[in-house]
Amino acid sequence: MRINRVLLAATASVLAFTLAGCGSDDGGAKVPSVVGSGTSASAGANASGGGGGGEDELTAYVRGQREWVSCMRDNGVDVPDPDETGQVDLSGQGLALKKNPKFIDASKKCSAKKPAVPESIEAANRPKLTPEQIKTKHEYAECMQKNGAQDFPDPGPDGYGDESNSGAPEWDQSSAGAQRAARTCAPIIGAPANPPTGKG
């Protein structure tokens, strides 16, 4: 089961890269930092509402990023201040930093201070898909649903996940129908129909 989930996750990654377009240099999505981050549980919160204690989601995220930056500096790594959306721009030194033992050590020590990226910010940073890419996403979803993954989610008008379906149960990627559908529909997104078997 674990291998199947890994394979389907890999297929989903190919879908994301394929549909996001190649070679786009229009300043698309920026990642808040090179350090891993998750998503917040609060998809519905926005700049006018939702954080605990009266603090909105964006303000809480920016504050958390500042605390992470302060911790990194306290541990010998000078990273830039976050911008107004909480993004810490490490683009000019990201790869070198990831290999830097001092950065790795500081990241481990400061991981508890690293806030999850709110879904509202992730959505705002997603690259805009072309009409052709959106059409492909809809075709893929329709193919998946017709070939055994009836619970595969429909994309929203922008080609990404439909926020109106938030709270709906996640589709079952491990079922035989889902695996069959993934193999059948892979060519739509340019993924191999039979990806190599992974280990682990």
Rounded mean pLDDT, 183-193: 86
CA-based end-to-end distance of the chain: 11
DSSP string, 105-138: HHHHHHGGG-PPBPHHHHHHHSPPPPHHHHHHHH
pLDDT at 200 over 60: no
Could you identify the residue written with the tokens 């890269």? 17
51-105 pLDDT, tens digit per residue, is 445 578 889 999 999 999 999 999 998 888 998 888 888 877 767 777 889 999 9
Q: Tell me, what's the pLDDT at 18? A: 42
Rounded Cα distance between 185 and 17, Å, is 16
Task: Using alpha carbons, select from 17, 14, 19 the residue that is nearest to residue 191.
Answer: 14
pLDDT at 1 over 70: no
> pTM of this prediction?
0.44
Q: Tell me, what's the pLDDT at 189? A: 87
Q: Tell me, what's the pLDDT at 173? A: 87
Q: Tell me, what's the pLDDT at 70? A: 95
Rounded Cα distance between 107 and 110, Å, is 5
Q: Tell me, what's the pLDDT at 171? A: 78
Q: Tell me, what's the pLDDT at 79? A: 87
Q: Tell me, what's the pLDDT at 196? A: 53
3-state secondary structure of 155: strand
Q: Contacts for 83-87 with beta carbons within 8 Å, 24 or more apart?
A: 85/58, 85/121, 85/124, 86/32, 86/58, 86/61, 86/62, 86/115, 86/117, 86/121, 87/30, 87/31, 87/32, 87/33
Q: Tell me, what's the pLDDT at 43? A: 36
Token readout for 73 is 């500096």
Q: Tell me, what's the pLDDT at 65? A: 92
Query: Would you call 36 exposed, middle or buried from its count of C-beta atoms within 10 A (0-12, 13-18, 19+)?
Result: exposed
Neighbours of 106 (CB within 10 A): 22
Token readout for 23 is 């070679």
CA 145 to mean position of chain CA atoms: 23
Rounded Cα distance between 193 and 47, Å, is 42
91-146 pLDDT, tens digit per residue, is 777 677 778 899 999 999 999 999 988 877 777 777 888 999 999 999 999 999 99
Rounded Cα distance between 9 and 14, Å, is 9
Q: Tell me, what's the pLDDT at 100? A: 86
Q: Tell me, what's the pLDDT at 195? A: 55
Residues 72, 110: contact at Cβ < 8 Å? yes
146-183 pLDDT, tens digit per residue, is 999 999 999 888 888 755 444 455 778 888 989 999 99
